[in-house]
């Protein structure tokens, strides 16, 4: 694996610079820190980023030798949602579901439970296969991962010790001596 070219940097919205190659990644695969990726021409490289990063279509991996490998969003099975978009988008967002918002439709990943809920709310839905590039969230580009909005968004942290003391020896799991409870 050490013989592979390495990418330690991402160039955002790199659509005007010449690309040496491209890599097609689905929504989940575009959230990465360290992974070997295969390009459209069959070459491989190691993405070894300083932190887990959410990539957008049009971004590029910058290899150590300066070559750029463009990111293409893969075709994925989605649900197209039409109807009272403001109301439907509110219900989708209330469930913290990634969503692409367009003027006349919403796109979400296939989920039969959400499809049933949306149909019950009067939405017209149909299955489609398209690239999935959802909105990034109110607190910056990328994905929304729970409630934490970064290191400057302080909340008190409470750690309860009611169920144990630190003087106790950890108990071994009877089924596996390597597992500590």
CATH number at residue 97: 3.30.70.790
57, two tokens? 């279509």
- Reported as a single tens digit per residue, the pLDDT across 157-170 is 444 444 444 444 44
Q: Which domain holds residue 25?
A: 6-73
How far apart CA 124 and CA 84 sit, in angstroms, is 10
**Looking at the structure, do residues 61 and 117 belong to the same domain, yes or no?**
no
- Whole-structure pTM value: 0.73
**Looking at the structure, do residues 65 and 90 belong to the same domain, yes or no?**
no
Q: How many residues does the chain have?
A: 181
Q: Provide the CATH number for the domain around residue 26.
A: 2.60.260.20
DSSP class of residue 175 equals T
- Higher-pLDDT residue of 143 and 107 is 107
Share of the chain above pLDDT 90, in %: 70
- Reported as a single tens digit per residue, the pLDDT across 60-84 is 999 999 999 999 999 999 999 999 9
- pLDDT for 64 equals 97
DSSP class of residue 98 equals -
- Reported as a single tens digit per residue, the pLDDT across 97-140 is 999 999 999 999 999 999 999 999 999 999 999 999 998 766 65
**Looking at the structure, do residues 105 and 65 belong to the same domain, yes or no?**
no
**Looking at the structure, do residues 69 and 83 belong to the same domain, yes or no?**
no
**Looking at the structure, do residues 118 and 62 belong to the same domain, yes or no?**
no
Domain assignment of residue 96, yes or no: yes
How far apart CA 93 and CA 74 sit, in angstroms, is 23
Three-state SS string across the chain, please?
CCCCCEEEEEECCCCCCCCCEEEEECCHHHEEEEEEEECCCCCEEEEEEEEEEECCCCCEEEECCCCEEEEEECEEEEEEEECCHHHHHHHHHHCCCCCEECCCCEEEECCHHHHHHHHHCCCEEEEEEEECCCCCCCCCCCCCCCCCCCCCCCCCCCCCCCCCCCCCCCCEECCEEEEEC
Domain assignment of residue 173, yes or no: no
Domain assignment of residue 47, yes or no: yes
Domain assignment of residue 152, yes or no: no
Strands 44-54 and 6-11 turn out to be parallel
DSSP 3-state of 91: helix
How far apart CA 11 and CA 5 sit, in angstroms, is 16
Domain assignment of residue 151, yes or no: no
**How many domains in the chain?**
2
- pLDDT for 16 equals 83
Domain assignment of residue 111, yes or no: yes
């Amino acid at each position: 694996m050490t013989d592979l070219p390495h990418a330690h940097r991402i160039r955002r919205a790199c659509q005007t610079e010449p690309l040496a190659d491209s890599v097609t990644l689905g929504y989940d695969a575009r959230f990465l820190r360290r992974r070997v990726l295969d390009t459209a021409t069959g070459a491989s490289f190691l993405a070894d980023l300083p932190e887990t990063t959410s990539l957008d279509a049009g971004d590029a991996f910058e290899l150590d030798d300066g070559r750029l490998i463009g990111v293409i969003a893969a075709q994925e099975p989605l649900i197209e949602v039409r109807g009272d978009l403001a109301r439907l988008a509110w219900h989708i967002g209330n469930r913290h579901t990634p969503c692409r918002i367009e003027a006349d439709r919403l796109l979400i990943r296939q989920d039969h439970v959400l499809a049933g809920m949306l149909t019950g709310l009067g939405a017209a839905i149909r299955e489609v296969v398209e690239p999935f590039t959802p909105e990034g969230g109110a607190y910056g580009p990328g994905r929304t991962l729970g409630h934490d909005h970064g290191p400057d968004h302080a909340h008190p942290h409470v750690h309860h010790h009611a169920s144990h003391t630190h003087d106790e020896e950890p108990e071994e799991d009877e089924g596996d001596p390597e597992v500590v409870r």
